[in-house]
Amino acid sequence: MSAQQMLKVYVTRRIPQEGMKLLQKAGICNLSVWDSDEPVPRAELLKGVAGAHGLLCLLSDKIDAEVLDAAGPNLKVISTLSVGFDHLAIDEIKKRGGWSTWKPLWLCSYGLSGSTVGVIGLGRIGLAIARRLKPFGVKRLLYTGRQPKPQAQEVDGEYVPLDTLVRESDFVVVSCSLTPDTQGLCDKTFFSKMKKTSVFINTSRGAVVNQEDLFGALSSGQIAAAGLDVTTPEPLPTDHPLLSLKNCVVLPHIGSATYSTRGVMSELTANNLLAGLTGSEMPSELKL
């Protein structure tokens, strides 16, 4: 198609590259883009849409009679990108004093569908995590530990060496016990083997992770993000470097924080106490 025959398309915001590549590859579009995450100013919108055959906008853009008149008779189609509503992070809301507009890539991260998840420690908790992940469309579930686990068949788990798990996983989930062998397991060397797009999750014990090395991996972009339910110490001091990162979510060890789970924990503790008082075998004894 000659340059004269190309169809003008005005895009009112910076959108994910997948959509832009489709428009470019089609070979029929003369693209004009407001290349910003912020809304296009009204004057720029009216100027940019003039003579357009197509308009790709966001739901939050005000497309009214004035815009249609500015576009003129060539306008054939308006396509809208939206996920539902305008939103903004709480800290940004406070900073700006109000709500702002939705942005196509705001708060985006990596999804589980089609991904490879690596579980370090496929014990009772690790297996429970794997069961919950399967319905999200995980493509491969890798695990490592002292030996293969027969119960891994239930979740189609693949037993692999630690290095393989770390290198190939999009999400690395640590659910192993804290032992002399696992203390400091996740260190600078460990993180250097992970994909730059991978996410690290620790629900085991804080001491399994070298937190200085984790901070270095996150702040340098060596890995994409981390989610921690456990730390050393607990809670972290409010000025700890990990708490300053936008790509690290730290929870105060709340993996068991449901009414039903805490109720079961209370019953277990009471039954242990009663058994000990009566000289019976404790049902959940910790044997050292």
Catalytic positions:
253
- What is the DSSP secondary-structure string of 226-244? EEES--SSSSPPTT-GGGG
Judge contact between 11 and 56, C-beta under 8 A. Answer: yes
Judge contact between 49 and 67, C-beta under 8 A. Answer: yes
Six-digit token string for 264: 């079961």
Residues 6+ apart with CB under 8 A from 160: 118, 142, 143, 144, 168
Q: Is the peptide bond before 148 cis (omega within 30 degrees of 0)?
A: no
DSSP H helices in the chain: 17-26, 42-48, 65-71, 90-96, 124-133, 162-168, 188-192, 211-220, 259-277
Looking from the CA of 37 toward its CB, the CA atoms found within 13 Å total 9
What amino acid is encoded at 168 in this protein?
E
CA distance 32 to 10: 5
Alpha-carbon distance values, 246 to 52, 89, 91, 109, 250 (Å): 39, 11, 11, 12, 11
CA distance 46 to 245: 39
CA distance 9 to 53: 6
Collapsing DSSP to helix, strand or coil, 256 comes out as coil
